[in-house]
Chain A
């Protein structure tokens, strides 16, 4: 059981470039989440999904898009990266609403 995995671990982008972060879970969880972590601000929810084919906005969705085409995968896209999107991104999953969320190891993204 790998749990929650994230690809890539590190990435450097130039302003205006695009990229996709991949999250995969092997626990058959319905719910998946994308967070960003910035110093002194804890983790903030970007987007989430309550099941395959569904997505919804979280606290800080602007500049990001997501897709959940398969139950086990949740993709986070940046169409035109900005320096303000420099952050550490965490994916998480849970069996059901309100249940314990299990986190991936994170992706450190720098936008120059």
Chain B
């Protein structure tokens, strides 16, 4: 079945440590790929997106993501986490067969230890 998978429900890291959030998708053709962040009680904010071209994408707030076609993955990374990064992170895709639909993963909640 076509889906977006975020295998980690919760991740806890110490402030200043590096971070990697995983995202895998199962669609035949490479979809458009997005990462959104949701702070408590807030709407979703776009961190970065991949449509084509360079497979390493830079986003806001020091985040980056790497598209790996062979692994059907689009993992989000940050070299040094700040306490303000505590939030829920959603990977999302727009499949090529229905370009209006944004399909979300179930989210990963990031907790940051002082």
Name A residues whose Cβ lies closer than 8 Å to a Cβ of B: 4, 31, 33, 40-45, 48, 50, 58, 90, 92, 97-98, 100-106
Cβ–Cβ contact A98 & B43, under 8 A: no
In the assembled complex, the Cα of A103 lies from the Cα of B43 at a distance in Å of 6
Pick the residue among B43, B45, B106 that contacts A42 (CB under 8 A). Answer: B106
Of the listed stretches B61-69, B77-85, B97-105, name the one at the interface; the rest are far from the partner chain. B97-105
Inter-chain contacts of B49 with A (CB < 8 A): 100
Contact with A along B84-108 (1 / 0, CB 8 A): 0000001000100001111011110
Residue B17 at the A interface, CB < 8 A? no
B side interface size, CB within 8 A: 22
Q: B56: CB under 8 A from chain A? A: no
**Which residue numbers of B lie inside 8 Å of A, CB to CB?**
4, 9, 32, 34, 36, 41-46, 49, 90, 94, 99-102, 104-107
- By a CB distance below 8 angstroms, the chain A residues around B94 are 98
Give the A-B contact count at a CB cut-off of 8 A. 50
> Most B CB atoms within 10 A — which of A4, A31, A41?
A41
Residues of B within 8 A of A42 (CB): 4, 90, 104-107
> Whole-angstrom distance between the alpha carbons of A92 and B43 in the complex?
10
A104-B43, A106-B43 known; A40-B9 Cβ under 8 A: yes
Q: Give B22 Cβ to nearest chain A Cβ, in Å.
A: 15
Closest chain A residue to B9, Cβ basis: A40
Nearest CB on B from A87, distance (A): 14
Q: Show 20 residue pairs from A and B whose CB-CB distance is below 8 angstroms, ordered by the A residue.
A: A4-B43, A31-B100, A42-B104, A42-B105, A42-B106, A43-B90, A43-B102, A43-B104, A44-B104, A48-B100, A92-B44, A97-B100, A98-B32, A98-B99, A98-B100, A100-B34, A103-B43, A103-B44, A103-B45, A106-B42
CB of A90 to closest CB in B, whole Å: 6
Closest to A44 in B: B104
Q: Is the CB of A45 within 8 A of B102?
A: yes
By a CB distance below 8 angstroms, the chain A residues around B4 are 42
4 closest pairs, A vs B, by CB? A42-B104, A98-B99, A103-B43, A97-B99
User: Contacts A90-B43, A101-B102, A102-B46 given; 15 further ones with Cβ under 8 A?
Assistant: A4-B43, A40-B106, A40-B107, A42-B106, A43-B90, A43-B102, A45-B101, A58-B101, A90-B44, A92-B102, A98-B94, A103-B36, A103-B43, A104-B43, A106-B42
